């Protein structure tokens, strides 16, 4: 009987899909849904609901993000025929600059084919008047519109499960769908709407982060930041990742950690190492950038699906601290594949969509371990000096042989799964080199201590 019911839950000619949220997850789902429908020769309708207007600057059009599109995602998008146009890419990032207490090193990356891109999710910070800017999220919506999606500007205020579909309610509309896709990010009110229709669904765990954009002008950005992402491995409490990312005439500051607050931000902004990156005399705390403390996904949702409904992107599973847009791509594509190739019942999503979420969740467990080790490194001046020296020494080697540099690049940009980073870290040769550097470092310290005490 149950199997008969499941068999009935399939998309067919004329099926209607409602997608709530046109961030990357909602747009990627829509894009792949239309592709699959075309391949299967069925005609479908997709309505995409979105509160924000990505043509606007500041909070009205912003989806709070560092705006790094990882190398792996740039490659996957290219394979799907999506090539980010120049007006969306603010800078092609080709290197990272590592800042530690011992110095600064520019590390050339081991890019395969495509540089990673820095983008704005909306039309830039509040007050920005760059008419040539195009928002990343706006660009993806445009692709969906071209494929036939209808865009509804407005907030979905209720989701009602009915025997023959799910209705989405806005201030002035009530429409019923065969399938509803929740791509609402970490918006707590919107997630509660899904808890109402999926009683076993628990939303992801979140933490506070900090992001702001400093206007410095194109020449200053080029001179001081270039095409490099600046990463800080400095000993400040609560920070797991700190970076300055150049974007056109702005530089974006991102602080990730367990609970970033104003105190931590001020400590960071007052740090000598950070101030050195800016033109002499800049007083960061006196500048008033466009800023906020958005939430980030640090733990997956449970049961993000049921009959006729599936949650994707940040609302379900993401990648810990990095490449959330890449995770939105993976979950959006997997949900579309399940819906079109298998069906839209809870059983179908469990069988074919859940494994993709579980893969991300397992990888994040390894990621937690990597960030725990990186916190130890951050706190130890001695270990950090060894790491810094190894990375600097590698710059004379051929690109393919710069193992430590490449590990750090993948950790900072989220370009590779955490499992792969861990496997490469545990490579006997790399470990042996690191241990050898520790032993020689200890020996040198003991020797210089001995000399000074004589």
Q: Does 318 sit near ligand FAD (CB under 6 A)?
A: yes
**Binds ligand FAD (CB under 6 A): choice among 11, 30, 32, 52:** 52
Residue, CB closest to ligand FAD? 324
**Binds ligand FAD (CB under 6 A): choice among 77, 211, 390, 404:** 211
Which is nearer to ligand FAD, 359 or 441 (by Cβ)?
359
Interface region with ligand FAD, contact rule CB under 6 A, candidates 34-42, 57-65, 350-358, 382-390: 57-65
**Binds ligand FAD (CB under 6 A): choice among 17, 18, 24, 89:** 24
**Residues that contact ligand FAD, how many (by CB under 6 A):** 38
Q: Does 49 sit near ligand FAD (CB under 6 A)?
A: yes
Q: Does 184 sit near ligand FAD (CB under 6 A)?
A: yes
CB of 212 to ligand FAD, least distance (A): 10
Q: Residues 6 or more apart from 205 whose CB is under 8 A from it?
A: 297, 298, 299
Q: Does 325 sit near ligand FAD (CB under 6 A)?
A: yes
CB of 191 to ligand FAD, least distance (A): 8
How far is it, in rounded angstroms, from Cα 399 to Cα 336? 38
If 0-12 CB within 10 Å is exposed, 13-18 middle and 19+ buried, where does residue 308 land? Answer: buried
**Binds ligand FAD (CB under 6 A): choice among 9, 11, 25, 179:** 25
**Binds ligand FAD (CB under 6 A): choice among 109, 123, 134, 187:** 187
- Residue 385 token pair: 């000096």
Which is nearer to ligand FAD, 65 or 180 (by Cβ)?
65
Which is nearer to ligand FAD, 213 or 403 (by Cβ)?
213
Q: Does 56 sit near ligand FAD (CB under 6 A)?
A: no
Q: Does 23 sit near ligand FAD (CB under 6 A)?
A: yes
How far is it, in rounded angstroms, from Cα 360 to Cα 300? 9
- Residue 218 token pair: 């194109």
Q: Does 234 sit near ligand FAD (CB under 6 A)?
A: no
Q: Does 248 sit near ligand FAD (CB under 6 A)?
A: no
Report the sign of the C-alpha dihedral through residues 258, 415, 80, 303, in that order. Answer: negative
Characterize the bridge pairing of strands 16-20 and 179-182. Answer: parallel
Q: Does 117 sit near ligand FAD (CB under 6 A)?
A: no
CB of 219 to ligand FAD, least distance (A): 24
Q: Does 183 sit near ligand FAD (CB under 6 A)?
A: yes
Alpha-carbon dihedral of residues 277, 281, 284, 290, nearest 10 degrees? Answer: -90
Angle between helices 381-394 and 354-379 (to 10 degrees): 110
With contact defined as beta carbons under 8 Å apart, do 383 and 376 qualify?
yes
Site for ligand FAD, residues 327 to 366, rule: CB under 6 A = 328
**Binds ligand FAD (CB under 6 A): choice among 58, 92, 294, 299:** 294
**Binds ligand FAD (CB under 6 A): choice among 84, 296, 336, 344:** 296
Which is nearer to ligand FAD, 184 or 386 (by Cβ)?
184
Which letter, b or e, does each residue of 418-437 get, where b requires 16 or more Cβ atoms within 10 Å of its Cβ? Answer: beebbeebeeeeeeebbeeb
Which is nearer to ligand FAD, 326 or 417 (by Cβ)?
326
Q: Does 64 sit near ligand FAD (CB under 6 A)?
A: yes
**CB-facing half-sphere around the CA of 109: CA atoms within 13 A:** 26
Q: Does 72 sit near ligand FAD (CB under 6 A)?
A: no
Which is nearer to ligand FAD, 10 or 56 (by Cβ)?
56
Q: Does 254 sit near ligand FAD (CB under 6 A)?
A: yes
- Residue 157 token pair: 């205020």
With contact defined as beta carbons under 8 Å apart, do 302 and 317 qualify?
no
**Binds ligand FAD (CB under 6 A): choice among 248, 324, 343, 417:** 324
- The site for ligand FAD (CB under 6 A) is made up of 20-26, 49-52, 63-68, 155-156, 183-185, 187, 190, 209, 211, 254, 294, 296, 313-315, 318, 323-326, 328
């Amino acid at each position: 009987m149950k199997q008969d019911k499941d068999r009935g839950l399939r998309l067919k000619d004329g099926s209607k899909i409602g997608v709530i949220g046109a961030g990357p997850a909602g747009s990627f789902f829509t894009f792949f849904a239309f592709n699959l429908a075309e391949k299967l020769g069925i005609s479908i309708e997709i309505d995409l609901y979105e509160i924000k207007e990505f043509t606007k600057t500041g909070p009205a059009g912003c989806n709070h993000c560092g705006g790094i599109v990882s190398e792996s995602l740039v490659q996957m998008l290219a394979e799907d025929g999506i090539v980010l146009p120049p007006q969306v890419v603010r800078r092609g990032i080709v290197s990272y600059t590592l800042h530690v207490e011992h110095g600064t090193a520019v590390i050339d990356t081991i890019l395969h084919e495509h540089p990673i891109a820095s983008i704005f999710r909306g039309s830039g910070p509040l007050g920005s008047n760059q008419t040539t800017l195009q928002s990343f999220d706006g660009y993806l919506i445009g692709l969906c519109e071209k494929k036939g999606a209808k865009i509804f500007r407005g907030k979905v205020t209720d989701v009602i499960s009915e025997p023959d579909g799910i209705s989405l309610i806005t201030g002035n509309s009530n429409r019923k769908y065969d399938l509803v896709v929740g791509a609402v990010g970490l918006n707590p009110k919107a997630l509660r709407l899904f808890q109402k229709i999926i009683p076993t669904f628990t939303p992801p765990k979140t933490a506070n982060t900090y992001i702001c954009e400093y206007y410095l002008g194109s020449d200053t950005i080029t001179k001081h930041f270039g095409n490099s992402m600046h990463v800080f491995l400095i000993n400040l409490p609560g920070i797991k990742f700190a970076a300055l990312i150049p974007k056109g005439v702005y530089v974006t500051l991102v602080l990730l950690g367990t609970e970033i607050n104003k105190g931590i931000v001020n400590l960071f902004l007052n740090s000598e190492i950070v101030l050195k990156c800016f033109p002499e005399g800049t007083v960061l705390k006196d500048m008033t950038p466009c800023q906020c403390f958005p939430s980030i996904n640090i733990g997956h949702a449970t049961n993000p699906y049921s009959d006729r409904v599936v949650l994707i992107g940040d609302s379900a599973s993401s990648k810990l601290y990095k490449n959330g847009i890449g995770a939105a791509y993976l979950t959006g594509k997997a949900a579309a594949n399940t819906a079109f190739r298998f069906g839209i019942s809870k059983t179908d999503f469990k069988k074919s969509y859940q494994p993709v979420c579980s893969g991300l969740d397992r990888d994040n467990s390894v990621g937690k371990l990597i960030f725990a080790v990186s916190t130890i490194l951050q706190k130890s001046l001695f270990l950090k000096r060894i790491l810094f020296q190894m990375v600097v020494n590698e710059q004379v080697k051929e690109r393919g042989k710069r193992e430590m540099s490449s590990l750090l690049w993948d950790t900072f940009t989220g370009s590779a799964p955490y499992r792969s980073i861990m496997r490469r870290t545990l490579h006997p040769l790399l470990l042996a080199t690191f241990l050898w550097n520790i032993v020689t470092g200890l020996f040198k310290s003991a020797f210089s201590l001995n000399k000074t005490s004589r």
